[in-house]
Structure 1
Amino acid sequence: MKQRILIVGAGFAGMWSALSAARLMDLHGHTDTEVAVLAPQAELRIRPRFYEPNVHKMAAPLHDLFAAVGVTFIQGTAERIDAVGKTVEYRDAQGETTIRAYDRLVLASGSKVARPRLAGIEHAFDVDEINEAVRLERHIHSLGQLPASAARNTVVVAGGGFTGIETATEMPARLRKALGADAEVRVIVVDRGSEIGAALGDGPRSLIAEASAEVGVEWRLNSSVASIDADGVTLADGQRIAASTVVWTAGVRASSLTEQVPAERDAQGRLHVDRNLKVIGQDDIFATGDVAYAAVDDAGNYALMTCQHAIALGRSAGNNVAASLLGVDPIAYSQPKYVTCLDLGAWGAIFTEGWDRQIRFVRDEAKKIKTEINSVWIYPPAANRAEALAAADPMIPVVA
């Protein structure tokens, strides 16, 4: 009877886990283990690009890729993990409940924007999932059909972190495309921080402020949203901003499936893992991507909820879960080089290196790198067995 590696999730970490597990099995000529991916759809949704227009095009099909490397795809949504019985209960495409057993589990179920219990939060859009990002895009296109008003021409972005900055600096151009090149538009970032771009550190901060001013993004600092309604937001200090569009980007939390694994979690719900990405205290469960609280080096740095980390985490998790069944040595996860490439709309971009975010490239030069990342680097490999398996080697650095 075949053993089964079950991978929950087909995002960056889940896809690369599947390819990497298949790679190690192939290297050892092992054909008695099924590598299966359980996810609602066999496609990689390019989440880092959801702040851009044309979101409906930002998904890459995975059926042919999985078939090429011998990975089984199971369409469904995981609902319950039984760590003792080693099963996952899921709801299939027809809505029926099914149980699938595993010998090893890789949890790669990702994360979601943390929407708070806030009055009127249902009025806010987000760029977290493709359906929500598409809904926002359709809404922006529809604004031109409304009577001209300050509210129609105003977008409030709640949260001044990485996603909030990229969403806000892209928004003036998106609004003018919908409302006309001469439209007087306003984009306002509401952020708890005391300085523009504070979440990105000292290095990029002044450039984020410069770019914001140039593209037309205002910041309300030391501020937070108290409530939202169909016509705008009320801030904690009582100030009112009339806006037909509010985008929530503040806070991210790991998939709630982590709560079903008996193990320690961090403040964002991520499971504590060892250097091989095995969940501490669980012999048969690995965690990767946004659900893993994983050390990237020996200097005290931990993986962030980014595709940059998810790709390497996935390759390592897939290799190591396969190694645990083959009885061969794992390869400890390590990702010492960290970079950021922050899109700043028409101004350009900022490319930094290191955890202290030292500036390396700015404006057009950085924008070219960002375009390459978003259009090439983060997409799946071709559905060619040899090429795909080679690309899944955990020793390949995501950032050279």
Structure 2
Amino acid sequence: MKQHILVIGAGFGGMWTAVSATRLFNIHDRNDVEVTVLAPQAELRVRPRFYEPNAHQLAAPIGDLLDAVGVKFVKGTADSIDVAQKRVGYIDASGAKQVCSYDKLVLATGSRLAIPPTSGVVEHAFDVDQIEQAVRLENHLKSLASLPDSKSRNTVVVAGGGFTGIETATEMTARLRTILGEQADIDVIIVDRGDRIGGSMGEEIAKSIEEASIETGVKWHLKASVESVDANGVNLSDGQRIEAQTVVWTTGVRASSLTEQIPAERDHLGRLHVDSHLKVIGQDDIFATGDVAYAASDDIGNHALMTCQHAIMLGRYAGNNVAAQILGVDALPYSQPKYVTCLDLGAWGAVYTEGWDRQVKLVRQEGKNLKTQINTVWIYPPAANREAAWAAADPLIPIA
């Protein structure tokens, strides 16, 4: 009977896990192991781009790719993990409960926006965390054109001045002008607890963020947080109120709740502690990758972040190493010492940095050219060609 590797999730971590695992089996001329991906859709949702317009276009089909490398796809949503019995429960496409057994499990179920208990967020705020929410925001923005001109109609509040908040805000001014017209009196306001523009991103990159904010018309309301949201605006911790019919929440993510069903240590974001081979510590047959893995990325104390930059590499290593465990060959210790960022800043351009201290290397159009290359080419799935896909899944190939 064939051994079975079950990968839960078809995001960056899950997709690359499946391709990488079949790559190693091919190298060792083994065809007695079945690799299955269980996910709601056979597509890679390009989450890093959900701050852009036309979010409904930001999903890349991967069914042909999985077929090309011999991976079985099962359409369904996992909702339970029985570690003792090595079974995963899921809801299939017709809504029926099903069970899938495994010999080795790779959890790659990603993360979700961490919704706080702040009053009114669930009822009135938007986000760009998942494709459905990004489409909901897009439809809402388009609907503004049918409303009477007013300050609240023309104002967008972005809660959170981190990576997603900044990209959303600096893109938002152009999106609003496309919908409301060039003459509309638009306000896009980032509400952030920090005491300076872009302060959470580091001192050097903050200079570019401040410059871009001025040029794109993005305002910052600092040293404050949103205390409540309603249909017409937000109330802030400093006692002020901003009238706005659009509030976008961007304040952090948390690992998939399925991590809680695996007996193992988790960090404060819900990520499973893994060893250097990405095996969950204390579990012989379970690996974690992407946003659900708390993994050391180098030997000086840095850990992988919840970004596609790290998820792609984590997937390549997880797939290689779960296959290596079955084959009885040496696994590859996960290592990703190079850390880069490329922050989109709307019409201003983009800023590219290297290192954990975010040393600025490219700005404006040069940065934008690189960001475009990353967003439209580098992070997309490889072609549905077996040899090309396997070559791209080699964990020893750097992504940046």
Q: What's the TM-score once normalised by structure 1's chain length?
A: 0.99
Aligned to 1:99: 99
The one-letter code sitting in structure 2 at the alignment partner of 1:180 is G
Q: Residue type matched to 1:373 in 2?
A: I
Instruction: Report Cα offsets for 1:109-131 as digits up to 9, x if no partner.
Output: 00011011111112110000000
Residue 90 of structure 1: aligned partner: 90
More displaced 10-residue stretch of structure 1: 118-127 or 164-173 = 118-127
Q: Residue deviations 1:208-266, cap 9 Å, x none? A: 01110110011111110010011111111221100010000001100000000100000
2:182 is aligned with 1:187: no
C-alpha separation in 1, matches of 2:83 and 2:220: 46
User: Aligned to 2:34, what secondary structure does the other structure show?
Assistant: strand
**Map of 2:332 onto structure 1:** 331
Match of 2:240 in 1: 239
Report the alpha carbon displacement of residue 54 of structure 1 after superposing the two structures with TM. 1.1
Structure 1 residue 123 corresponds to structure 2 residue 124: yes
1:230 is matched with: 231
* Offset of residue 289 of structure 1: 0.3
Runs of 4+ in 1 over 3 A off after TM superposition: none
SS state of the match for residue 30, structure 1? coil
**Residues 1:3 and 2:3 are matched in the alignment:** yes
CA distance in 2, matches of 1:37, 1:50: 24
Q: Which amino acid aligns with 1:84?
A: A
**What's the secondary structure of 1:152's corresponding residue?**
coil
Give, in whole Å, the separation in 1 of the partners of 2:179 and 2:206.
30
Match for 1:325: what amino acid? I
Q: Which moved more, 1:240-249 or 1:230-239?
A: 230-239
Distance 2:36 2:196 in 1: 46
Matched, 1:34 2:34: yes
Q: How does 1:48-197 map to 2 (within 5 A)?
A: 48-121=48-121, 122-197=123-198
CA distance in 2 between partners of 1:249 and 1:371 (Å): 22
Q: Does 1:205 align with 2:206?
A: yes
How far does residue 158 in structure 1 lie from its aligned partner after superposition? 0.3
Distance 1:182 1:147 in 2: 14
Aligned-residue offset at 1:27: 0.6
How far apart, in 2, do the equivalents of 1:327 and 1:165 lie? 46
The one-letter amino acid paired with 2:233 is G
SS class of match (1:76): strand
Separation in 1, partners of 2:195, 2:281:
38
User: 1-side partners of 2:314 and 2:247: how far apart?
Assistant: 33
Q: CA deviation at 1:345?
A: 0.3
Report whether the alignment pairs 1:25 with 2:18: no
Give, in whole Å, the separation in 2 of the partners of 1:282 and 1:174. 47
Q: Does residue 323 of structure 2 align to residue 322 of structure 1? A: yes
Structure 2: distance between partners of 1:378 and 1:368:
15
Partners of 1:145 and 1:278 in 2: CA distance: 53
Distance across 1 between alignment mates of 2:204 and 2:310: 21
198-207 or 222-231, larger mean C-alpha shift = 198-207
Q: Which amino acid aligns with 2:106?
A: V
Match of residue 363 from structure 1: 364
Separation in 2 of the partners of 1:157 and 1:28?
51
Offset from partner CA, 1:275-296 (integer Å, 9 cap, x none): 0000000000000000000000
- Using the TM superposition, name which of 115-124 and 158-167 deviates more: 115-124
Write the letter of the residue equivalent to 1:101.
S
Alignment pair present for 1:275 and 2:276: yes
In structure 1, how many angstroms separate the alpha carbons of the residues matched to 2:336 and 2:294? 13
Mind listing any 5+ residue stretches in structure 1 that lack a counterpart?
none
Counterpart residue identity of residue 156, structure 2 = V
Q: What is the DSSP-based 3-state SS (H/G/I as helix, E as strand, rest coil) of the residue aligned with 2:251?
A: coil
Where in structure 2 are there 5+ consecutive unaligned residues? Answer: none
Q: Distance in 2 between matches of 1:104 and 1:222?
A: 48
Aligned residues between the structures: 399
The one-letter code of the counterpart of 1:218 is: K
